[in-house]
Amino acid sequence: MVPFAGFLMPVEYSGIQDEHITVRTKLGVFDVSHMGEVWVKGPKALDFLQWVTSNDVSALYDGKVQYSCFPNGRGGIVDDLLVYRFGPEEYLLVVNASNIEKDYNWLVELGKEMGLEAGKEIVNMSDDYAQLAVQGPLALEAMQKLTPEPVTDMEFYTFKQIDVAGIPGAIFSTTGYTGAGGCEIYVPAGEAEKLWQAVMEAGEPFCIKPAGLGARDTLRLEMGYCLYGNDITDETSPIEAGLGWITKFVEGKNFIDRELLWKQKQEGVERRLKGFVMEERGIPRQHYTVYNEAGEEIGEVTSGTMSPMLKKGIGMAYLKKGYWKEGTPVLIGIRNKKLKATVVRPPFYKPEN
């Protein structure tokens, strides 16, 4: 157990590798009740979210979820988040645990400019929700036992408000941070233990296991998913981070940093976040230096690990222009050695591997 964002969080239960493989091949459950939940409501909600987030919120329909980020007005990222549309005037934002206060204050300050009131149109409900992420190819089949509503045929990145394990009005969302399929279930905080026990019971015939922060990190990294604080920060732009796909320059969406990010998209950037796989034995870690074959510094590792599925070191790094092409050889500085690696496009692991 480790302290994290005001919670005591499990790093591992049966071991990171065991939990990782269980989630990839069967199903596992993560207690992610530390995540933040902020509601944005009212007639100005859509216009406000179109301004403060990079993705096109107007493309959402009731029951649809969207991945997005908050541009910070300086070309960086305040946080990445999920946007849930409950109605044309009701949205739920799910933000990173360590950024709850920062994000809420950011939204409240910007909300004042549009007449949105803290506690009324912008409401931090983070302490009121518990959230379990049930992830893996067998997750939906197992969770179907807990609800009369059909969930096994739900589309990716959609949600329903349904009874789950006898808890009315649970938010059942086909989202997750593992790339293994599954769902995330939000219930009132007081129902957390009841939901956990029901999930474990329903998953038992499918060999469910609890999983901790360690496996959560290795799973997301195998997919090439960004982690705030590592791969994206207040100093990295969504264009540099390869998040152009959540940065929508649609007509009428005059979001924060639109002009700056449009310029980056048109003119290009000097560095980009790229994936790499180790060709020699070694585990890359955050802040390790990346070199070209001539031994010149060309970047820095933001995330790295040993992939439990590939049995190889994998990582992501910001690299200078000229080293972005897939197949480009690079060197990673690990313990006074420069070990060979190759630039690849994530996801590093695909189920057919």
pLDDT in tens, 301-335: 999 999 999 999 999 999 999 999 999 999 999 99
pLDDT-derived band of residue 265, with 50, 70 and 90 as boundaries? Answer: very high
Residue 163 CB burial class (10 angstroms; 0-12, 13-18, ≥19): middle
**Would 295 be classed as within a structural domain?**
no
Structural domain containing residue 56: 2-217
Residue 184 maps to which CATH number? 3.30.1360.120
Q: Is 92 inside a domain boundary?
A: yes
- Residue 207 CA to residue 138 CA, distance in Å, equals 10
pLDDT of 79 reads 98
Cα distance between residue 286 and residue 305, in whole Å: 9
Residues 6 or more apart in contact with residue 62 via CB below 8 angstroms: 85, 86, 87
What is d(CA 259, CA 267) in angstroms, rounded to the nearest whole number? 12
Residue 248 falls within a domain, yes or no? Answer: no
Contact 12, 215 (CB under 8 A): yes
Is pLDDT of 19 > 60? yes
- Section 221-229 average pLDDT: 98
Give pLDDT tens digits for 165-206. 999 999 999 999 999 999 999 999 999 999 999 999 999 999
Q: How far, in Å, CA of 136 to CA of 155, rounded?
A: 15
Which residue from 84, 99, 67, 335 is spatially nearest to 223, judged by alpha carbons?
Answer: 67
Share of the chain above pLDDT 70, in %: 99
Residue 290 lies in a domain: no
pLDDT in tens, 112-162: 999 999 999 999 999 999 999 999 999 999 999 999 999 999 999 999 999
> Is 291 within the bounds of a domain?
no
* Within a domain: 299: no
Mean pLDDT on 56-63 = 98
Give first-to-last CA distance, the chain, whole Å. Answer: 33
Token duo for residue 196 = 């956990």
Q: Is residue 312 part of a domain?
A: no
In total, how many domains does the chain have? 1
Q: Residue 331, exposed/middle/buried by CB under 10 A (0-12, 13-18, 19+)? A: buried
263 within domain boundaries: no
Confidence of residue 351 (pLDDT cuts 50, 70, 90): confident
What does the mean pLDDT of the chain come to?
97
